[in-house]
Amino acid sequence: MDVSQIAQQIHLLADETRLRILLVLVEGAATVSDLSTQLELPQPRVSTHLALLRDAGLVGVETAGRQRTYHVDAVRIKSLLDALQTFTPAQEQRPEISAQAARQVRHNTPLRQSRTCYDHLAGSAGVQLLDALLEREWLLVEDANRPTYRLTEAGTQALKERGVDVEQAKSARRQFAFGCLDWTERRTHLGGSLGAAVFEALRVAGVVQQVAEDRHVILVKPLDEWLGSDGVMGC
């Protein structure tokens, strides 16, 4: 174990702006201009932090003409951020919403209603989906501080019947099921390998349609139709 290298990375991540940049990039690649707009920060400041993250090997960059697009290994960075979050005490109040997210909520935009967060369903639809899974007791809270979830026997059977590859999700080398803080709703939607497997099943079943080169997801059919008649869920 290279303790000095670990110490350097911990020091690098002990900065709110750099953590915010990583959180944005986990959800998709972005230019300096994109990051500046989303984080409401001056572009030179964003560029300075990106340079530090690149030097540490946490951020990559691709150049096309004059445009430079920054990206991260989302699985790796998400795991890193999740690990850091385990040392953070649970907050009783919802975290404050950013100005850009507040605009999405105020106008109830399609991006607010349903989108992807890396490889799982986010937005209002994602939050409501997790609520429904918990309400039906297909998922149970395992650790309320993180939070993480465990799949019940009834949930395993129900999701398999709906085309979710539960076994592949369990065997994936990543966290299985956890609450991912939603950008606009400031509540949790389902992340992890199970969240990815559920989203893929929704896509294959024609319930959701992902817009090419966009995080926006179109709900083709109601989610409660896919879930079935047990419980109540509005989308």
Q: How many percent of the chain have pLDDT more than 90?
A: 40
30-85 pLDDT, tens digit each: 899 888 888 878 888 889 999 988 888 888 999 887 788 999 887 777 777 776 66
**8 Å CB contact between 114 and 216:** yes
d(CA 182, CA 201): 21
108-141 pLDDT, tens digit each: 888 899 999 889 999 999 999 999 999 999 999 9
Instruction: Tell how strand 60-64 and strand 115-117 pair up.
Output: unpaired
N-terminal to C-terminal alpha carbon distance within the chain: 48
What's the distance, CA 72 to chain centroid? 14
Return the number of other C-beta atoms located less than 10 Å from residue 65's C-beta: 5
Domain architecture of the chain: domains with CATH: 3-85 (1.10.10.10), 99-227 (no CATH)
**8 Å CB contact between 190 and 180:** yes
Among 119-133, 189-203, 220-234, name the one with the lowest average pLDDT: 220-234
* Mean of all residue pLDDT scores within the chain: 85
On the 0-12 / 13-18 / 19+ scale of CB atoms within 10 A, 69 is middle
156-182 pLDDT, tens digit each: 999 999 999 999 999 998 999 999 989
